[in-house]
Structure 1
């Protein structure tokens, strides 16, 4: 029985050739020639004031909080239904994450929930392009402008997605990208901070290298300057090996996204008549990057049973993402009922650019059987997990 993995990175000969060039250059570390080339590529792609390549999206979010001066006592409103990296970033700098519930149709942060959470202590908003679908930035920016707040776009899952004709990664004054192994463009691990204001980019770049900037640049100066550590920084550099891979991946993003979109369209077509689950909704004013494909199970369906049946047939699956306010690390005294409901009922099924249509059809066949086998009779008590 052939296994169908949940995720699979589309890496090949072109990426290997790029790595070989780095090996030949003698500079595989961070902030070297390939890192600079990647940052230039990102800056042009997003029409940004600056772009800073970093080790992961969590590092980019952390640097964004530092650049905006978030401090103890400050509140930052964060999307609840997501991998909780935004809340971690706020806590890293001593701020308080305030969790905003999400829309039931898209799973993206609900602007009405955000507006209701603003207090005199609120300094910013971190929106998330949930699983590859951009949030409602027009409404979010209006709220931010009304209260003098910053907006950060967590576009970790959304490279290649669009909102009202604009690309995810260019929808707020700062955006944070991820190049993790399950993303549309990947180097295994990696990230970037995209800033409209060059000053924010310069701040992030300096802090990302222990506060002393690029060692590579300093090595090119004949009189051997000795840098001074004038502030506490971090080791968030992206290696030139990863940067070289990403330049190739970003050049392929159109091709890879087309494949993911074809998979998503086929899933939607094959599952349209299944009453025990619903497929993702994409508003007409945006496009999805399809980092993941989540179906929402009917409350009568036992998700754990479905997952066990899929995995027994060699088909990868996952719970979806997290209702962050329920995680013990945050000890949040909040209620986000929509997020909590999606957390209980969503199920991720295989989504990547290497899926064949015959594999998609097999996933749907096994999923349909599993859902029906694990559904309580109509009228039975709800509470499936």
Structure 2
């Protein structure tokens, strides 16, 4: 049986050629020539004061909290419906993540929920572009300005998406990107911190290399400079191998996003009349990066049963994102009912730039049959 994977990286000969160049250069490690070139490209693309290439988006979030001065006793509001990296990052620095509920239609954080959670210990918020769609930045920035808070944009899923004509990754004073294997641009693993403030970039870059900065740069200095460790840093460097791959991938974003858009449009056609599931909603003022394609099942559909049927026929699927506030490590007395509902009813189906239309048609046909077979209420689509 041919399988249709949930995710698939679009890597080919151009990326291999870029890796071969790094092998020939003799510097495959981090913060070398390719890393510097990548950071320049990222800063230009996002109109930023600086860009710091790092090992993954989680590391970028951690560095953002450190560079913004978040400390024990502080509270940071985080979007609840997401991979819980934002809550982890807040905990890394000893602060408290406060989970905000989300919009039912987009899954992005609800500005009204954020406003209600601002308190005397609140210092900022981490806003997530959920599964590829940007949040409501105009309203959120107004809240931040009223209360003197920072915003970190978690654009990990949203490379190529836009909000009011601006690209995800440029919608807040600090943003983070992910280059994980399922993203719109990938090196397998990787991430970046994008910032309008060069001072934040300088701080993050230093902390990303044990607090001493680029060993490659030191190796180019005549003599024998000996770095001093003046503060605790981390090993969050992105290898030059990954950086070389990403330089190719950044140039391919329009091509790969066009393919994902075509897949999303085909799914929407298939499910336009389906009563037992809802397709993603995209407000008119933004575009979706389609890192994932998430359908929301009717409350009467057994999601586990549907997933079992899909996987039995070689079709990859997943549950979507997480409701952070019910995860054991983050559980509190907070309630985020919309996020919890999405966590229980969302289903991710194959979405990547390598899908053929025949595969999309196959996924849609199997899914329609499965949701009907596992509808507890007995409802049937027209």
TM range (shorter): over 0.9
Aligned-partner SS, 1:131: helix
Pair 1:125-2:125 in alignment:
yes
- How far is 1:377 from its partner? 2.7
CA distance in 2, matches of 1:378, 1:234: 55
- How far is 1:378 from its partner? 4.7
State the aligned residue count. Answer: 379
Aligned-partner SS, 1:31: coil
CA distance in 2, matches of 1:174, 1:13: 33
Deviations 1:177-233 (A, max 9, x none): 000000010000000000000000000000000000000000000022100000000
Aligned to 1:382: none
Aligned to 1:361: 361
CA distance in 1, matches of 2:132, 2:364: 21
- How far is 1:376 from its partner? 1.3
CA distance in 1, matches of 2:224, 2:368: 66
- How far is 1:16 from its partner? 0.1
Aligned to 1:383: none
CA distance in 2, matches of 1:145, 1:332: 28
- How far is 1:331 from its partner? 2.5
Pair 1:317-2:317 in alignment:
yes
Pair 1:308-2:293 in alignment:
no
Aligned to 2:163: 163
Aligned to 2:152: 152
Deviations 1:307-345 (A, max 9, x none): 000000000000001000010011222100000000000
CA distance in 1, matches of 2:149, 2:256: 36
Q: CA RMSD in A?
A: 0.6
Query: Any gaps of 5 or more consecutive residues in structure 2?
Result: none
Aligned-partner SS, 1:43: helix
Query: Any gaps of 5 or more consecutive residues in structure 1?
Result: 380-385
Q: TM-score, normalised by structure 2?
A: 0.99
- How far is 1:2 from its partner? 1.0
Aligned to 1:345: 345
Q: TM-score, normalised by structure 1?
A: 0.98
Aligned to 2:219: 219
Aligned-partner SS, 2:4: coil
Aligned-partner SS, 2:102: coil
Deviating beyond 6 angstroms after TM superposition, the runs of 4 or more aligned structure 1 residues are: none
- How far is 1:292 from its partner? 0.2
Aligned to 2:98: 98
Aligned-partner SS, 2:98: strand
Aligned to 2:41: 41
CA distance in 2, matches of 1:25, 1:373: 57
